[in-house]
Amino acid sequence: MSISRCVLNCSLLALTWLPVVASNALAADLPLVYSDDFESADTSRWAPADPEAWRLAEQDGNHVFNQFKQSDVKTPVRSPFNRCTLKDVIVSDFQLDVDVQSTARDYPHRSLCLFFNYQDPAHFYYVHLGQRTDDHANQIFIVNDEPRTKISTKTTPGTPWDDKWHHVRIKRNVENGLIEVFFDNMDEPVMTATDKTFTWGEVGIGSFDDTGNFDNVRLLGKRVERPQK
């Protein structure tokens, strides 16, 4: 890991454990479920929708998971193409932390996505971190057997993408339905939503139709079993 990335990640780790914010109280009760810095060069725990669109890459001596091209997949309804979920780790309440870097060209919908409560390609939530906000960008969405639907009750004018690394956190409480999304500042969510449709599922990384790098995945959560059909 490069010195600059180490400084960034150490600073972010310090922020992770700041004790003062009420919305972070949930994390104190959640055990570590999974972490991955991709230094083992083993991505077997991950399930890309299109394995040909993902690869390990080296950046200043540090390994990252690189989603480098558009995935060649068909989605059952209008939703992100470039999904990569963590295999067989089912959680209800959780806190997901990921370092992200956009590698797409600069344009109004430059974006990356994180997925959660993912049950199958037609049932999940995701956050779209888009450079300019509209009804289809920079929002929290639900995919429930129909094209993605915005459920955000709070967002921002847009995600300030550049070519640098940023830190994203998602917090989920299934009892009250709260979803909170943080970008760099771990004290104040940039997006919120309240929805109780999906109370379990996998988490994932990716984008709608852009490219990016992902590193330092850390999942705290309550593991549950996938319900029998």
| pLDDT (tens digit per residue) in 25-74 | 566 689 999 999 999 999 999 999 999 999 999 999 999 999 999 899 99
| pLDDT (tens digit per residue) in 80-137 | 999 999 999 999 999 999 999 999 999 999 999 999 999 999 999 999 999 999 999 9
On the question of pLDDT at 21 being above 50, the answer is no
Sheet holding 111-120, edge to edge: 46-48, 82-86, 202-207, 111-120, 123-130, 140-144, 149-150
Confidence of residue 228 (pLDDT cuts 50, 70, 90): confident
DSSP code at position 61? T
Tokens representing 22?
């009420």
| pLDDT (tens digit per residue) in 175-215 | 999 999 999 999 999 999 999 999 999 999 999 999 999 99
* Beta bridge partners of residue 206, listed in sequence order: 83, 113
| pLDDT (tens digit per residue) in 153-180 | 999 999 999 999 999 999 999 999 999 9
CA 55 to chain centre: 18
Complete domains list, the chain, with CATH: 3-223 (2.60.120.560)
On the question of pLDDT at 4 being above 60, the answer is no
Q: What is the mean pLDDT of residues 141-157?
A: 98
Confidence (pTM): 0.88
Q: CB neighbours (10 Å) of residue 218?
A: 19
Residue 27 pLDDT: 66
Measured CA to CA, the distance from residue 183 to residue 28 in angstroms comes to 20
Residue 28 pLDDT: 66
Rounded percentage of the chain residues whose pLDDT exceeds 70: 88
- Calculate the CA dihedral of residues 28, 198, 67, 164 and round it to 10 degrees: -40
* Beta bridge partners of residue 84, listed in sequence order: 48, 205
User: By mean pLDDT, which of 7-11, 121-125, 222-226 is the weakest?
Assistant: 7-11
Measured CA to CA, the distance from residue 191 to residue 180 in angstroms comes to 6
> How many residues are listed for the chain in this entry?
229
On the question of pLDDT at 8 being above 60, the answer is no
